[in-house]
Every structure is written in C-alpha cells, then in structure tokens.
Structure 1
Amino acid sequence: MQDLPLNIPEGSRKEVMTYLEPFMLNEMNEYLKPVEEMWQPADFLPDASRDTFFEEIRDLQDSAQELPYDLVAVLIGDTITEEALPTYESWLTMVDDVQKNEQGGWMKWVRAWTAEENRHGDLLNKYLYLSGRVDMKQFEISTQYLIKDGFDIGTGADPYRNFIYTSFQEIATNISHRRVAGMAKKSGDKLLAKMCGVIAADEARHAKAYMSFIAQAIKVDANEVLLAFEDMMRKKIVMPAHFLRESGEPQGEAFAHFSDAAQRLEVYTALDYIDILKTLNADWAIDKISALNEKGEKARDYLMKLPDRLTRLADRIKVPEIQYKFKWIYG
C-alpha cells in the first residue's frame, strides 16, 4: 500500500472509503475466487440425469435420519439465515460511499461477495428438501418472514460499524458451519459434512477481507474506528437472523429457540462470542495502537478489558435443557 495520506481529516468516512477503494480492488482476488474455479451446489447434490438418482436420494435420506434433532434445527436456522441474502446485499449497498458508482470498486466487491454467498443457501436449501425431515412450507414461511422483517443491527450507514459487524459475523458463521460439519460427520452424514465444510471455508475468506478493510482504516482514522468498535460492542453484536420466526409466532421467537439449540450442542456459544472479540482485538492489534486522543484511549481500554468482563457474565447463562419442537421439523 502507498504511504498514508496526511490530508484525510479525522472522522472523514468518505475520504477514507475513497482512499481504501484501490487497496480493496487490489486485494479482492485474494479473498474471492474466479467463478469458474468455485464449487457449485450441483457438485454435491444427486444428479437427476443419472440412473442412480433415486438411489442417491435414498442414501442422503438415510444419513439425514441419523442427525440429532437439535442439529437439524441449527442447520435449518443457519440455512434460513443464508437465504435472507437479499437483505444483506441491500444493507451493504446503503453503506456510505459504497453506491457512489455502480461500477466502482465497492459495488464490485458487494456484488462479488453476494454471488459467492448466494451458493450457500442454494446448497443447504436443496439438501433440506431432499432430506425428507423438513416441512419445507414452514421453512419457506420463516424465510419469507425473515426477508420481509429485515434486521436492525445498529450500524446505520457507517462503513466502520458495518465492516466491524461483517468481520465479527463472518467469523461467527464460519464457526457455526464448521461445527455443524463436524457433528454431521460424527453422525455419519459425510455429504452434509462436506457441504458445511466448504461453506465454512468461504466464510473464513470473507472474514479476512472485512478484517483487512478495518485494519487499513485504523491506519488512517484510528480514533474513529475504535469509537465505532466500542459502540458496536456496547450495543452487543446481534445475529442477522435475530428476527427469525415461525408461522404465527412473534418476531425473534424462533431465533431464541434456535440459539438455545446451538448452545446445547455447543455449535455457537457465549464463549465463542468472546473468542471472536479476542480474535479481532488481536488481528487489529488494538493494544498497540498509539497516538490516540482521550476518547480513543478510553475506547481501546474498554475493548481490551471487555473479554474478561464477558467471560464472568457467560458463567451465569442458563440454557434450557428441553428441546423446543419446531414447526420446521417432521416428527
């Protein structure tokens, strides 16, 4: 990257975004893959053109029957989260200075990121349909509701808050898909394990991209980035599916039960939330940032002390032991 400019005023998001655009375009190929080299859902699913199609579906269903109930619930919640992609794309295009130019670097990134993410919901949706364990109409109702309801993650149009959020969220989805893959493999469903494994790998690449954007922003606007990070952590990072609901239920009801299932299985827990914060603090070298103003120093100190504070609180969390009966799952 070229020498840091001296003429960017502190807190000027527009100038920082303009400055970072060449860096992002230059680095984009490191975090995204050419379309022709990417896996596609068809690489994993039974092929209807083959004589073995129905045999492959029977094998898929036999393996899916061995998955624990809570794991199926978590997989469905993860899938609906992925299927709400239209919400995430429209949200990212509203970030300040992203949509200034339809053919500009930031819009190219958003479209390319969306194109890669789109495969995740496609793959898992088809697996759930073929598994025979899921009431697809109830699943589809929840998906439509989630897109219709949108989300409120407290980032506004601020690029710093939004890219801090995506850094955190992409790591969280990597953890969830990776652990579902491991549990599916233990249950004997090797196909699902492969599916979730490749999705998790995508999420890891995307996390590195957003983390790199923030790392570069810190170099030119450290005080404002730290204040944005502190604000996001004080509000708490909410999951993109926090409004998830089932048919006839209020917003967020199904998400609470989905979260309980994920914690019972230890697919994603309060300790993972803390570990992600530690990862971001370390990757962005928060403790080493110097020449801050008074507010920046207070934000840095808060972020460094927060993991220990959250760890003490995590010990008090009680997860219901009784499984919730979702409308999504037969039986």
Structure 2
Amino acid sequence: MKKLSQLELLQELSPAAEEEVNRHLKVARDWNPHDYVPWDEGKNYAPLGGDDYNEEHGELSEVAKAAMITNLLTEDNLPSYHRVIAENFSMDSAWGHWVGRWTAEEDRHGIVMRDYLVVTRGVDPVALEEARMIHMTNGYSPELAAGPDRIAEMQEHAEELGLLHSVAYVTFQELATKVSHRNTGRACNDPIANKMLQRIAADENLHMTFYRNITGAAMDLAPDQTLRAVTDIVTNFQMPGAGMPNFRRHGVLMAKHGIYDLRQHKDEVVMPVLKKWDVFGRDDFGPEGEKTREELADFLEQLEKDVVRFEEMRDRSLAREAAKAEKAAKAS
C-alpha cells in the first residue's frame, strides 16, 4: 500500500477540508465573552484603591479552582497550538481559513474564563498570571503531548505522519477538553459559570467534529498511515497542559472528583471516536495496518484494566476521606 507524502495528503484532503469548513460555518454560533461575566460582582484591586485577593474571596471549591485553572492555562497556550497547526496544515485555501477561524473561536475561551475568575475573585489572579507566564513561555509541542517516555517513538513516525498526528491528536484533545469544561461547569456550583463553560464545551465539540471528519477522510484515503498516526496518539496521549505548574496535583483532584478521569477518557473520548471511524470493523487495512490494529486492541484491553484499578483506588481514597470527615464532625 503506497504511502502518501505530507504534501500529497494535504492536496488529497483539501476537498474534505473545504467541505468541513463550510459545514462548520453553517452550524457554529457566534457569541460574546462579555455576556457571560457577572460584571456587577467586580471591584478594584489594591493598585486602584481596592483590596487584593485573599482566600476568603470567591466561592469556588478547591476542585473547581483546580479545574478552572487547568482549563484556562490550557486555553492560554493558543499561540503555540496555532503555530503547530499552521505548520502542519499550511495557510493556503480551506486549510488556512480553518486555522484562522479555529484560532479566533478558541481565543474567546481564555478571554471569558479569565474575566470571570478575575471579576468573581474565584482564584488568586497573581498566582494565575505567574502560572500563565511559565506555561506560555514553555509553549507546546507534539512531543510534550506524547509524554517524556514516548518522544522517540513519536519522532520515529513524525516526518511521514506530521499532518495525521496533528488531526488525530486534536480530535481526541478537543473532545477531552469538552468533557473537562462540561464537568467543571457543574463543579463550580454557579449557574453563570456553568452556562459559560457549557458554551465553551459546545465550541470544543464542533472543533472536534472538524478534526474527526478530516481524520476519517484520511482513514479512507490512506488507512494504514492514518491508523498508525491514530495509534501513536491513543497510546501516548496526554492533555496539552501536561507541563503547566501544579498540573499533576490539579489532575489528581480533577480525576478523583469526576472532572476528567481515566474512565471518562476511555468511554467518552477514545472509544466513541474509534467507533465513528469503524477502526475495528473496516476491511481496508493492509498487513501493516492489521498489525497496528492488533497493537491498538492490546492497548485498549490494558487501558480497561487500568481504568478498573484506578476506580478501585479512587473509591478507597474517597471512603477514607469521608470516614475522616465524619469522625471530625462527631468530635466537634
């Protein structure tokens, strides 16, 4: 089965890109970030004669704070994502139009989340700014998204699969971000925050659909190559915020309290997308593709075992915390 070059893939997939851009423009709904911020709750900080943030401000739980910070800092790295996608897609024709439109839509997310947090004093704005500076200075690269242990494996296929790695990764990442925003909105226990984050999640779903459909078109065009890229991404996946300050601590809190955990990753992100592409039902793979599909199936089998083990550990941890809280309540 002939392998297509990056240029050939771009050219052959251009009609699908144009079709998907047109579909997106028909269904996407424009919205204004300022409409989702409770401005009447705002007041000046110390440099303008008000009070600086303290821990008594705001009403977000620790879990909601961790999720909001993680999601916002992820959105902040947009310039790096734009660079990577523009390099892989080019800025010509429908590809270039999508890169610009996607970037403009994504930019709303960081704007509205930061305005909400600063106005409501949901988190420490100084600490948030310090974390933003660190995270954006570090930037983002596909290698970081693969995780430090799998960089060599990703780089081995990068030259021939750069475009396919990009569209496959962003398919899963956009859907994962949708799940995280949606659940963060519920965790905030604030109807305004919930409405804002549901609006963002709706955007992420539309963006996922674009990338998922492009990857699906690539699967039909070059099944073995595309499945190799998809398998690289699924078996190495990390969220793009993996290098941000406190990512591990915040990630544990989010997983423990149902914002984004391993079960959600498998059942709500990975498996629905693989099913949409009919990865385990199609019959157009060559020998290489069949071997890759077996590798993917083995990984998913192990992932389910990891999910069960995670859930058992989480349940024990939450039970211990509940018992400790009950004991403390009785003592007081």
TM-score w.r.t. length of structure 1: 0.80
Question: In the alignment, residue 242 of structure 2 is paired with which amino acid?
Answer: H
Residue 211 (1) aligns with residue 204 (2): no
Q: Give the 3-state SS of the residue equivalent to 2:309 in structure 1.
A: coil
Question: In the alignment, residue 257 of structure 1 is paired with which amino acid?
Answer: R
Alignment-derived partner of residue 93 in structure 2: 104
Alignment-derived partner of residue 3 in structure 1: none
Residue 113 (1) aligns with residue 102 (2): yes
Alignment-derived partner of residue 240 in structure 1: 240
Q: What is the CA-CA distance between 1:16 and the residue it aligns to?
A: 1.9
Question: In the alignment, residue 18 of structure 1 is paired with which amino acid?
Answer: Q
Residue 261 (1) aligns with residue 247 (2): no
CA contact under 8 A between 1:32 and 1:112: conserved in structure 2? Answer: no
Deviations 1:73-96 (A, max 9, x none): 11111111111111111111121x
Q: Give the 3-state SS of the residue equivalent to 2:60 in structure 1.
A: coil
- Provide the rounded CA distance (Å) in 2 between the counterparts of 1:56 and 1:23: 49
- Provide the rounded CA distance (Å) in 2 between the counterparts of 1:305 and 1:289: 18
Q: Where in structure 2 are the equivalents of 1:46-61 lying within 5 Å? A: 46=38, 53=40
Q: Where in structure 2 are the equivalents of 1:154-169 lying within 5 Å? A: 154=146, 156=158, 158-169=162-173
User: Which range is displaced more, 10-19 or 203-212?
Assistant: 10-19
TM-score w.r.t. length of structure 2: 0.80
Question: In the alignment, residue 239 of structure 1 is paired with which amino acid?
Answer: M
Structure 1 residues 129 and 33 mapped into 2: Cα distance closer, same or farther (>3 Å)? farther
- Provide the rounded CA distance (Å) in 1 between the counterparts of 2:280 and 2:238: 25
Question: In the alignment, residue 229 of structure 2 is paired with which amino acid?
Answer: A
Q: Give the 3-state SS of the residue equivalent to 2:207 in structure 1.
A: helix
CA contact under 8 A between 1:85 and 1:114: conserved in structure 2? Answer: yes
Residue 277 (1) aligns with residue 277 (2): no
Q: Where in structure 2 are the equivalents of 1:59-98 lying within 5 Å? A: 65-95=58-88, 98=89
- Provide the rounded CA distance (Å) in 2 between the counterparts of 1:55 and 1:180: 22
Q: Where in structure 2 are the equivalents of 1:1-331 lying within 5 Å? A: 9-32=2-25, 37-46=29-38, 53=40, 65-95=58-88, 98-99=89-90, 102-151=91-140, 152-154=144-146, 156=158, 158-184=162-188, 187=189, 189-234=190-235, 236-245=236-245, 254-275=246-267, 276-317=269-310, 318=313
Q: Give the 3-state SS of the residue equivalent to 2:285 in structure 1.
A: coil
Q: What is the CA-CA distance between 1:27 and the residue it aligns to?
A: 2.1
Over aligned residues, Cα RMSD in angstroms? 2.5
Question: In the alignment, residue 148 of structure 1 is paired with which amino acid?
Answer: T
Q: What is the CA-CA distance between 1:266 and the residue it aligns to?
A: 0.7
CA contact under 8 A between 2:42 and 2:119: conserved in structure 1? Answer: no
Structure richer in helix, relative to its length: 2
Q: What is the CA-CA distance between 1:303 and the residue it aligns to?
A: 2.3
Question: In the alignment, residue 307 of structure 2 is paired with which amino acid?
Answer: A
Question: In the alignment, residue 216 of structure 1 is paired with which amino acid?
Answer: A
CA contact under 8 A between 2:76 and 2:132: conserved in structure 1? Answer: yes
Q: What is the CA-CA distance between 1:44 and the residue it aligns to?
A: 1.6
Unaligned runs of 5+ in 2: 45-56, 147-153, 322-332
Question: In the alignment, residue 160 of structure 1 is paired with which amino acid?
Answer: L
List 4+ stretches of structure 1 deviating above 6 A.
Answer: 320-323
User: Which range is displaced more, 214-223 or 22-31?
Assistant: 22-31
Unaligned runs of 5+ in 1: 1-7, 48-52, 58-63, 246-253, 324-331
Question: In the alignment, residue 143 of structure 1 is paired with which amino acid?
Answer: R
Q: What is the CA-CA distance between 1:65 and the residue it aligns to?
A: 3.7
Structure 1 residues 200 and 211 mapped into 2: Cα distance closer, same or farther (>3 Å)? same
Percent identity, please: 26
CA contact under 8 A between 1:164 and 1:229: conserved in structure 2? Answer: yes
Q: What is the CA-CA distance between 1:70 and the residue it aligns to?
A: 1.3
- Provide the rounded CA distance (Å) in 2 between the counterparts of 1:263 and 1:283: 26
